[in-house]
Amino acid sequence: MAVEHSSESDRVASAEPHHTHGDAGHTHPDWSTYKWVALILTVITVVEVWIFYTPFAETRLFIPSLLTMSAAKFAIVVMFYMHLKYDAKLFRALFTGPLLIGVIVIISLLFLFGQLNFFLE
């Protein structure tokens, strides 16, 4: 029997628990999770831009704070929107392996060209 849903969120919430990957059998997050993820991403972005315009931007904590917030946003999107938190370990390896190599290459090149101090000062 068809179930009538009052809103898009109801539709997604009722449909999502049945959704699994055929290949891996992992359940995806539901509408509520997606909503919270979007809210958290928005709040972090607002805070990033806000501190850019405050005296906090002149302090030594400014760049580490920005990098931390950016890394948090990156991880949240990858884990929840790209479902890496719920997906097969092989996918995680295929993504995090090159990502780690990329980050190490960036840090190494900054060190070699004397630009790493810029981030550490």
Partner 1 sequence: MTHAAHASHHYTSTGLDNRKIAIWAFIGSECLFFGSLISTYLIYKNRSLVGPFPHEAWTNPQTGETVKAILDIPVTSASTFVLLMSSLFMVLAHAAVVRGDRKYSKIWLVSTALAGTVFLGFQAYEFTSFVHEGLTLKTNLFGSSFFILTGFHGAHVTAGVIWLLTLFFIDLKRGLRPTDAINVDLCALYWHFVDVVWIAIFTLIYLIP
Residues near partner 1 (CB under 8 A) are: 8, 11-12, 15-16, 18-19, 21-24, 28, 31, 34, 37-38, 41-42, 45, 48-49, 52, 57, 63, 66-67, 69-70, 73-74, 77-78, 81-82, 88, 90-91, 94-95, 97-99, 101-103, 105-106, 109-110, 113, 115, 118
CB 1 to partner 1: min, Å: 16
Count of Cβ atoms closer than 10 Å to residue 100 Cβ? 10
Q: How far is the CB of 67 from partner 1 (least distance, A)?
A: 7
Least Å distance, CB 85 to partner 1, is 13
Question: In angstroms, what CA-CA distances link 81 with 2, 26, 30, 62, 75?
Answer: 28, 14, 11, 28, 10
Q: Identify which of residues 1 and 82 has a Cβ nearer to partner 1 in the complex.
A: 82
> CB-based burial of residue 80 (10 Å sphere; 0-12 exposed, 13-18 middle, 19+ buried)?
buried
Nearest to 16 by CA among 4, 31, 1, 5: 31
Residue 35's alpha-carbon distances to 38, 41, 64, in angstroms, are: 5, 10, 28
CB of 10 to partner 1, least distance (A): 12
